[in-house]
Structure 1
């Protein structure tokens, strides 16, 4: 049996098996058996899930943070994943999404989140127009459709 030791700073939160804990001073935790946890720095707030891959990250995160709602979150993942895979043409993102689906299928959600964190910057580049040297996407100028009589 291996022991996992984590150090938390004062005020830091950790999500363990669906429970949220906050420490009041620097402390060390030792997990003596298998546990599902997320450090606060890896938790995405709903307001920050503002791109397709971030939304997928949020769904997988829910499987970890809320074990009681994990089946519902998995159903959302299964509906969302195929559309995302079809929406991206880049090999790196598609490969990453396939890895994520494989990990979620094997209930390795923590590793799936780690993999998603590696491809989210690629999505950011696409959204910023940095992929393939494309200019940033801008709203087209408004052109009047009709001119009124005078």
Structure 2
């Protein structure tokens, strides 16, 4: 896999943080866990249940030698999400995410979680609106 990075950009590879000082292309010739800086979520941005799940999986990807604590938090959070969620698309997505995490395919799990962000946003927007029948 070939990755192009801009000057000053970071990439997280198997727990190591690399920052390049100039534009560069890197070819990863073996199987590694990596995350581009643009895909990294800051703790302050984990403002919804699904974004918190993303952050937990991200921790597992960024520190693959010590996933125990993050995995325990993930398992609790995932179970809680599944217990309260009624949306079929979200439940199916959470099931797929759990399979990916179980197979240590964290990058794919993060992609799947990102794909559910609009679904979560729609659910939250629907919960925030008041039905005209409720207002009467």
| Runs of 4+ off more than 3 Å | none
Deviation at 1:136, TM superposition (A): 6.3
Structure 2 residue aligned with 1:142: none
In 2, the alpha carbon distance for the partners of 1:97 and 1:67 equals 21
In 2, the alpha carbon distance for the partners of 1:128 and 1:90 equals 14
Verify the 8 A CA contact 1:85 1:94 in the aligned structure 2: yes
Structure 1 residue aligned with 2:134: none
Is 1:99 matched up with 2:99?
no
In 2, the alpha carbon distance for the partners of 1:66 and 1:34 equals 15
In 1, the alpha carbon distance for the partners of 2:66 and 2:42 equals 17
- Match of 2:7, SS state, is coil
Instruction: Structure 1: give runs of 5+ residues left out of the alignment.
Output: 138-150
Structure ID, larger Rg: 1
Structure 1 residue aligned with 2:116: 119
Structure 2 residue aligned with 1:36: 33
In 2, the alpha carbon distance for the partners of 1:102 and 1:136 equals 36
TM-score (norm 1): 0.82
**More helix by proportion, 1 or 2?**
2
Instruction: Structure 2: give runs of 5+ residues left out of the alignment.
Output: 132-136
Aligned pairs, number: 131
Deviation at 1:87, TM superposition (A): 1.4
Is 1:22 matched up with 2:19?
yes
* CA deviation vs aligned residue, 1:39-98 (integer Å, no higher than 9, x gap): 011110000001000000000000010123311111111111111011111111000000
* CA deviation vs aligned residue, 1:90-134 (integer Å, no higher than 9, x gap): 1110000000001111111111101000111111112222x7xx7
